Amino acid sequence: MNIPELQTKLAALPGKLVDEIILQRLGLGAVAIIRKRTLEGQFLEGSSPDASQYSSKPFPIPLGLLKNKVSKTELKDKEKYVIFQAKSGSTWVVVMGGYKFYRKLGGRQNDHVDLSWSGRMLSNMGITEMNQNGLTIGFSREENQKLALWHNVLGAGKSHRKHVFFDLTEEERKKFAKYAGEEITKLFLQSLK
């Protein structure tokens, strides 16, 4: 290959280097890592100290939310529940075992925080925008964006617990950079043929 031919091929590379398939693989790989880590109860730096454990502090909820999970007989167990009337006249229940116990009643795992009651937030995470300059990972539904904002940045619940999950670690970033470099090198070498 002569120099002018190489220069012509190199000039055509920028559009080819950041190939759409490479971007999709990187984006979907990042989503998979974030989901897996979050479901395992692993959170990033900046999270609250107790971020990986569900609270066992008593908390109030409307009686209607609890009725589907427990029987009327069980509600009379004062060690687990305290029923009271709010000023508005509605009936509320204090769940003495906290959110950890409430998750157990709902048939959910409660060994570690996984930010997944219905599974909608993490399943709505994906590539939301992609162009030749890169891609954006986010949430397809506004309610999931807000929920992620509360957990990741503002802090959830009365205690404002942060569960920083929506990012990559430095090690993960290095792996992605290595993968992208290898794929770009392959494309470069193929273009020289």
Which residue's entry shows tokens 């925080």?
Answer: 113
pLDDT tens sequence across 96-140:
999 999 999 888 999 999 998 877 899 999 999 988 778 899 999
Write 95-98 long-range contacts (CB < 8 A, 24+): 95/58, 95/59, 95/60, 95/61, 95/66, 96/58, 97/56, 97/58, 98/54, 98/55, 98/56, 98/57, 98/58, 98/59
98/60 Cα distance (integer angstroms): 9
pLDDT tens sequence across 39-78:
999 999 999 998 999 999 999 999 988 887 787 778 888 8
Contact 31, 127 (CB under 8 A): yes
